[in-house]
Copies of this chain bind each other. A is one copy, B any other.
Amino acid sequence: MDGEWSTQASRIIYEGLILNLRLDEVRLPTGKIALREIVEHRPAVAMLPVRQDGAVLLIRQYRDAIRKEILEIPAGILNTGESPLEAARRELQEEIGYDAGTLEEWGSFFTSPGFSDEKVTLFFATDLVESRLEPDDDEFIHVVPVKREDIPVLLASGRVEDAKTVAALAWYLAKR
């Protein structure tokens, strides 16, 4: 089917701080034209930080999109000119107060490719050393350590409601 899709027209209807909204008219392989509502989003990083004792450091923070607090791995949007690795180290220091001696890139994935191009690069962060950077002034974060042996029960409990966090925790279990 490659090459049979094409974008006939494209219009940005909102340009914002972290995202733009774009309306595309796409031509399907059948020749039909369909509308697509697309959110262009700045790229992001997420990190699974694991302490010497094997505990994973999650964070709990308020999210206005869903108007409640949820449990997530540390994450953030790349600043202009910043590499994913640089962003990962900065966000770890801002959000949990640690720098990572070792950052292993596990992969990159789109958070919701049906409507958005947001891509998150996931790092496995170990050899943690205390190092705090001032967090953004709109971030209020609680660190929640979780023992490795408690992760299966936590996943099954439904208390992890964030896709990247489910992916990172399940991948961590699957790898070892």
| Chain A contacts to B: CB under 8 angstroms | 1-2, 5, 7, 13-14, 16-19, 21, 24, 26, 28-30, 32, 34-39, 41, 44, 61-67, 69-70, 72, 75, 77, 107-120, 137-138, 140, 142, 152, 155-156, 158, 160-167, 170-171, 173-174
User: How many copies of this chain are found per oligomer?
Assistant: 2
Shortest A45–chain B CB gap in Å is 12
Let me know if B163 and A111 touch, CB within 8 A: yes
Instruction: Pick from B39, B64, B109, B158: contact of A26, CB below 8 A.
Output: B64
Contact A158/B108 with A17-B37, A170-B170 known, Cβ cut-off 8 Å: yes
Shortest A141–chain B CB gap in Å is 9
